[in-house]
Amino acid sequence: MKQNEYGPIPGSAIFSGISGKKAIIMAANVRIALVAQGIFKAAKDTDSALFMEIARSESDLKGGYTGMTPAAFAEKMQEAAKAVQFDSWALHADHITIKKGDSSEIEQTKQLIDAQIAAGYTSFAIDASHLFNFEGKTVKEELAENIRVTSDLAHYIKNKMNGQDFGLEVEVGEIGRKGGEGLILTKPEEAVGFIKALNESDVYPHVLAIANGSTHGHTYDANGNVIEQLSIDIPRTKKIAQALRENNLKVGIAQHGITGTPRDLINLHFPKGDIIKGNVGTFWQDVVFSTLKVYEPALYKDIQEWTLEKYRSANPGKKDRQIFDGNCKFAIKEFYKEIYSVEKDTEHAIQAMAYAESLIFFKAFSSQGTASLVRKNS
């Protein structure tokens, strides 16, 4: 038996395995690892391929705001996959974000990538979308820095992976960025120009993240209440996918910021197959906190008080609920020990809830059967 029987497979194997299928593969940002077993179990029971991912802000060499280094995250995901014996998943570095693009930031980024590769990551998302030049007169001018940094880091990863296959995601538009007239959306010619330029420098991403109307985390109405809504611009998303196809560019779309999008609408209206990767992050954190609220009221109260005390003054006029939702992620590191030593029945409830919610996501994403497809192709 292979030692790593339930270890992560290359992200590229998942993307090529589902090629042509109208399915979205869930990518779960697991900020609190207690949900992982439930997600893996649902993936196994529905035969759904899966990404387990974590962004640079969530997990870096110092632990990010989740308190997990890349090695700690990898270990927790491996353990959870092994516990339920699930084999069709990739370990993905979400948002390897570069904000300035200067040499010291690039150097630090390469150190993070080294640690991710050493920890066994099999898929990477380079996010240099912040380097968008709004003064640029042509697509090439707008994207020049993004193209330079993305291709530098993609080549770096390829070298370091030393012949091993891996998944590659890149970002053309900053998710959730607002301009004078609301959210700034990616144009089809930007997506096409970006991928063409990367291909010309011998970089062939499997998925492209675009700005198409989603934001990370929850959306609120004027009264500070959470609203469910389909903010994602589906016609624009389809146009971008079509433009990529017409230019013979083999790249799917990664949908970020799915938390808060009603799953019945995803099920019926998302262009599955155009969108091939669906990132779900904040949702899983909510699963943990809503369970703690009932199962561990004292701990929940401590977390709530710590968060409100720390972030209230910086958020004048916002309701406590919104301040807590937006900032409770920063309590994960602060209460790391307490969260990871909750009672067995608490952990069980979190897993059960993560399991049930995953079933709904996999159904809405039409990902049933993709794990077998991936196995057959690898």
Q: Which residues bind Zn ion (CB under 5 A)?
A: 256
Q: How far is the CB of 279 from Zn ion (least distance, A)?
A: 5
Give bridge partners of residue 278 from the DSSP assignment.
26, 255
Q: How far is the CB of 101 from Zn ion (least distance, A)?
A: 19
Helices (H), the chain: 11-17, 36-46, 70-84, 103-118, 139-161, 188-200, 234-246, 263-269, 282-295, 297-311, 320-327, 331-334, 336-339, 344-365, 370-377
CA 19, CA 367: separation in Å to the nearest integer?
Answer: 12
CA 280, CA 360: separation in Å to the nearest integer?
Answer: 12
Q: How far is the CB of 55 from Zn ion (least distance, A)?
A: 7
* Percentages (nearest 5) of helix, strand, coil residues in the chain: 50, 15, 35
Q: How far is the CB of 251 from Zn ion (least distance, A)?
A: 17
Shorter beta-carbon distance to Zn ion: residue 56 or 256: 256
Shorter beta-carbon distance to Zn ion: residue 10 or 173: 173
Shorter beta-carbon distance to Zn ion: residue 215 or 370: 215
Structure tokens at 79: 């353990």
Shorter beta-carbon distance to Zn ion: residue 46 or 279: 279
Angle subtended at Cα 47 by Cα 44 and Cα 50, rounded to the nearest 5 degrees: 75
Q: How far is the CB of 128 from Zn ion (least distance, A)?
A: 14
Nearest CA to 236 out of 141, 149, 172 is that of: 172
Shorter beta-carbon distance to Zn ion: residue 87 or 174: 174
Please give the residue whose beta carbon sits closest to Zn ion in the complex: 256
Q: How far is the CB of 26 from Zn ion (least distance, A)?
A: 14
Shorter beta-carbon distance to Zn ion: residue 92 or 256: 256
